[in-house]
Amino acid sequence: MGIPGIGEAIADIITRLHRTGTHPSLERMRSEIPEGVLEMLSVPGLRPDKVLKLHKQLGVTSLEELQVAARQDRIKNTKGLGPALQRKVLQGLEIRTAALGARHMHRAAELIAAAEKNLRRALPGLKRIVPAGDFRRGCELVCDLSLVAEETRLQRGPELVNAAFDGSFRLFKGIESDILPDGSLDYPDDVLRQFDFIVASIHGQFRMDREAQTDRLLRAVANPFVSILGHMTGRQLLRRAGYDGDVEKVLKACADHGIAVEINANPWRLDLDWRWHQRGLELGCIFSINPDAHSIAELDLMRWGLAMARKGGVSADRVLNARKLRDFSDWLEDRRGRIAPTRAGWRAAGHSVGRGRPSRLRARKISATRPPHAKRGRYRIRSA
Ligand SMILES: [Zn+2]
């Protein structure tokens, strides 16, 4: 102890926060103030006392409502708030939007087209370039400008690694695809087709009502390209509650369609919550413990996912990525067998396709000996 200015009361609060990650008064305050009000703190130049005033006097509970209130001159005309604050709010909101890099759709389209042209000039080996991210999702304002490119030469990387290990080790290639509000995925089938596995997850549009959100998830689960349903509830611990949805119904659908339920090992997520694991097992689900790694170091997050699966009572035989290499690749092959092959799709994947519609059997055989690969993806490493 003995830190100047820190008495017993504050020391107690700090200790509690450290030990439990929270404090009763913090929880009380959190329950009193809507989450959207806290978001208003991200508006440049808006101090906490002003945010509280705007909330208490105008009932504003989100950034959207704040913007409406300012546009309707309600801040200006309220006693104790006034024109100066309104100006500050409008200015702050504008700065915030610019800082987030949002652009209108038509401007984003121009920038993406220019980027594509540059990329083609710099790397003539690129086979196919498609816009991704916000633009692809049809957002009115586009924050991220991303392109997905496939390159013939790089595509062979995993194949070369796999060949070098001669069957004792295999690199599988997968990608996390966004579940759009209507339940479809954000990549076209011809891109999805080229991966060994697809993790489908929701990353935006959390505010849909329970029924719509459940339908969205159910549609994704029924998609034959999907192998794993990622972080099913979207919660982030100590940050947000996640979206509303009927977990039981979605688990049942995962079991029916043979889709693995992710146990996301990132300590922020740990989603699906271990409290649901038993119910998932009863319904016939299998799980996949995934590090959700965005770097090599984050592969080590696996241990937290394992800890949760153990806490939830999930045995190894119900964990997809605890299986032997052979069983794991058989499972993936079986999933891929549900995808109806199209000639254009196989050609895009670099296969020679004869006349007529390729039979499912033939397509599967090709994929077993020569798995097609694209450049970007989430890699999963497994050994026998
Ligand atoms: Zn994700």
14-71 pLDDT, tens digit per residue, is 888 888 888 888 888 888 888 888 888 888 888 889 999 999 999 999 888 999 999 9
- Low-confidence winner among 30-39, 245-254, 301-310 (lowest mean pLDDT): 30-39
Distance, CA 83 to ligand 1 centroid (Å)?
Answer: 42
Stretch(es) of the chain classified as CATH 3.20.20.140: 167-384
Kindly report the CATH class assigned to 167-384: alpha beta
Distance, CA 4 to ligand 1 centroid (Å)?
Answer: 44
Q: What is the pTM of this model?
A: 0.55
Strand ranges (E), the chain? 103-104, 126-132, 141-142, 146-151, 169-178, 197-201, 228-229, 260-264, 287-290, 378-383
Number of Cβ within a 10 Å radius of residue 265? 25
Task: Check residues 160 and 336 and name the one with the higher pLDDT.
Answer: 336
Please report, for residues 4, 169, 182, the alpha-carbon distance to residue 162 in angstroms, rounded to integers and kept in the order given.
60, 7, 37
Distance, CA 206 to ligand 1 centroid (Å)?
Answer: 13
Distance, CA 269 to ligand 1 centroid (Å)?
Answer: 10
Distance, CA 377 to ligand 1 centroid (Å)?
Answer: 13
Distance, CA 122 to ligand 1 centroid (Å)?
Answer: 31
Q: Could you give the CA distance from residue 126 to residue 119 in angstroms, rounded to a whole number?
A: 8
Token readout for 128 is 């196919």
Query: What CATH fold (topology level) applies to the domain 8-99?
Result: DNA polymerase; domain 1 (1.10.150)
What is the bridge-based pairing of β-strands 228-229 and 260-264? parallel
Stretch(es) of the chain classified as CATH 1.10.150.20: 8-99
Is 80 exceeded by the pLDDT of residue 380? no
pLDDT of residue 100: 64
pLDDT band at 151 (very low <50, low <70, confident <90, very high): low
- Kindly report, residue by residue over 130-150, the tens digit of the pLDDT: 887 778 878 888 877 777 776
Distance, CA 205 to ligand 1 centroid (Å)?
Answer: 13
Ion ligand 1, residues whose Cβ is below 5 A away:
201
Distance, CA 199 to ligand 1 centroid (Å)?
Answer: 8
pLDDT of residue 337: 87
Distance, CA 200 to ligand 1 centroid (Å)?
Answer: 8
Distance, CA 321 to ligand 1 centroid (Å)?
Answer: 18
